[in-house]
């Protein structure tokens, strides 16, 4: 009987990296919808005012889910070698609603490492592009900074196939654009929350009924503690990365929808609190709900006088994990 072979030497562990995350996801400066962009989508929309745009948004909230279902039934066969200017699509479940007007060719900016590489290597690496069908008017009424879209015919007869323009669109986070597109069509906050968090939040966090801020903080901290004890730091960072990417896209496209931002702000606070608890530093995020004893309060005041954090430290939270890409 042969002796058992010795175990291989342990592999070196991944280096631990530190990531500095923004304490809050700030909303972009408000920007009105471009009348020129609206007119390019539909000549009749060039003279609408802000009130009429709100009316359009209300109208599309009613039909948005049905329009979104048509996107799921789009079939296309793009060429593999190059990106065409137009592409023929078929819509298998259109119903009584218009077909998509464009195919967005969504891609990301090259990373700094790729930009610094040689041109030969860059030329050999194909850029990843994802084709996403959209209705131009839906994106236009929500995205104030959307680049002008290629004009399309005002109306197309209902046919088995449609020829639509292919519109390149560079975004900071191409992989999270479908989440943004889905929300703008359906306005389903609950669906977006489930997509951004490892597990759905309790109703106490998503209720529209106003409650004491201390009660909300308690519920948020309890939910974050559950996430911290259930999921690894690496899993939490993946969700942080997704949420940060969606935030970047919303800023670049100029989306000012309150429902979207309420979800992003809640998810970000939950995830950073869970990460702080997981790292053993809950005080970075969890607010004290009861005043400290007088003795402890005096000790804290004396310590704060000589150890005040700078603005950068106060505005960021730090997370550590091995080998997980950092949000930028």
Of 195 and 52, the one with more pLDDT: 195
- Inter-axis angle of helices 177-186 and 233-253, nearest 10: 60
Give percent of the chain with pLDDT exceeding 70: 73
Task: Flag whether 310 is in a domain.
Answer: no
Neighbour count for residue 310 (Cβ, 10 Å): 7
Mean pLDDT of 77-104: 88
Asked if residue 188 and residue 161 are part of one domain, the reply reads no
Phi-psi sector, 280: left (phi>0), alpha (psi -120 to 50), beta: left
Q: What's the rounded Cα separation, in Å, for the pair 115 and 179?
A: 28
Residues 42 and 154 occupy one common structural domain: yes
Q: Which has the higher per-residue pLDDT, 11 or 46?
A: 46
278 and 239 in a single domain? The answer is yes
Residues 161 and 190 in one domain: no
Question: Which carries the bigger pLDDT value, residue 43 or residue 104?
Answer: 104
Give the residue, 52 or 191, on which the prediction is more confident. Answer: 191
* Residues 164, 193 within the same domain: no
| More confident call, 291 vs 274 | 274
Q: Are residues 159 and 39 in the same domain?
A: yes
Asked if 152 and 134 count as a contact pair (C-beta separation under 8 A), the reply is: no
Model confidence at 311: pLDDT above 60: no
pLDDT tens, position by position, 173-224:
999 999 999 999 999 999 999 999 999 999 888 876 655 567 888 999 999 9
Instruction: Report if residue 242 sits inside a domain.
Output: yes
Contact between 231 and 162 under an 8 Å Cβ cutoff? The reply is no
Based on the domain organization, do 51 and 160 belong to the same domain? yes
Shared-domain flag, residues 156 and 191: no
Domain final residue pick, 126, 142, 171 = 171
Residue 22 lies in a domain: no
Q: Is the backbone of residue 267 left (phi > 0), alpha (psi -120 to 50) or beta? A: alpha
The model's pLDDT over 283-305, given as tens digits with 9 standing for 90+, comes to: 888 654 444 455 544 444 444 43
pLDDT of residue 32: 87
Least confident of 106-115, 224-233, 270-279: 106-115
Q: Is 17 domain-assigned?
A: no
pLDDT tops 60 at residue 251: yes
- Asked if residue 61 has pLDDT above 80, the reply is yes
Percent of the chain having pLDDT more than 90?
A: 47
The answer to whether residues 243 and 268 belong to one domain is yes
Q: Domain of 279?
A: 183-302+320-328
Task: Look at residue 211 and tell me if it is in a domain.
Answer: yes
Domain count, the chain: 2
Tokens at 19, concatenated: 């990531």
Whether 262 and 197 share a structural domain = yes
Pair 160, 239 in one domain: no
Cβ contact 292:248 at 8 Å: no
- The mean per-residue pLDDT over the stretch 257-271 comes to 96
**What average pLDDT is seen over the chain?**
79
Q: What is the pLDDT of residue 263?
A: 97
Q: Clarify whether residues 155 and 284 are in a common domain.
A: no
Q: How confident is the model at residue 45 (pLDDT cuts 50, 70, 90)?
A: confident
Residue-wise DSSP of 297-309:
HHHHHHHHHH---
User: What's the confidence (pLDDT) of residue 17?
Assistant: 67
pLDDT for 208: 61
Assigned domain for 132 exists? yes
Q: Tens digits of per-residue pLDDT, 124-136?
A: 456 789 999 999 9
Looking at residue 300, its pLDDT comes to 43
In a domain, 8, yes or no: no
Question: pLDDT digit string (tens) for 163-172?
Answer: 999 999 999 9
Look at residues 147, 171, 195 and tell me which one is the last residue of a structural domain. Answer: 171
Whether residue 228 lies inside any domain: the answer is yes
Domain boundary among 142, 171, 200: 171
């Amino acid at each position: 009987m042969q002796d058992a072979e010795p175990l291989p030497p342990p592999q070196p562990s991944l280096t631990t990296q530190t990531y500095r995350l923004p304490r809050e996801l700030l909303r972009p400066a408000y920007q009105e919808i471009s009348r020129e962009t609206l007119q390019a989508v539909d000549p009749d929309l060039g003279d609408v005012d802000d009130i009429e745009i709100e009316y359009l948004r209300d109208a599309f909230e009613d039909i948005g889910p049905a329009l979104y279902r048509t996107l799921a039934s789009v079939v296309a066969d793009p060429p593999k070698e190059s990106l065409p200017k137009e592409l023929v699509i078929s819509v298998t479940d259109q119903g009584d609603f218009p077909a998509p007007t464009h195919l967005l060719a969504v891609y990301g900016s090259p990373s700094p490492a790729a930009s610094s590489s040689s041109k030969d290597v860059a030329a050999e690496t194909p850029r990843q592009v994802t084709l996403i069908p959209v209705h131009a008017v839906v994106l236009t009424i929500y995205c104030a900074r959307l680049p002008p879209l290629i004009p399309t015919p005002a109306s197309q007869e209902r046919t088995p196939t449609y020829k639509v323009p292919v519109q390149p669109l560079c975004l900071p986070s191409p992989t999270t654009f479908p989440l943004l597109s889905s929300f703008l069509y359906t306005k389903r906050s609950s669906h977006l929350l489930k997509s951004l968090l490892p597990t759905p939040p309790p109703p106490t966090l998503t209720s529209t009924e106003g409650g004491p801020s201390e009660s909300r903080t308690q519920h948020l901290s309890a939910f974050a503690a559950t996430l911290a004890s259930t999921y690894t730091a690496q899993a939490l960072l993946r969700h942080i990365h997704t949420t940060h990417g969606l935030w970047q896209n919303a800023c670049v496209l100029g989306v000012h929808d309150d429902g979207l931002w309420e979800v992003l702000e809640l998810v970000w606070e939950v995830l950073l609190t869970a990460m702080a608890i997981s790292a053993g530093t809950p005080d970075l995020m969890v607010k004290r709900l009861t005043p400290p004893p007088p003795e402890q309060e005096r000790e804290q005041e004396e310590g704060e006088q000589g150890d005040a954090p700078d603005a950068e430290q106060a505005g960021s939270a730090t997370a550590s994990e091995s080998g997980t890409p950092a949000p930028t």
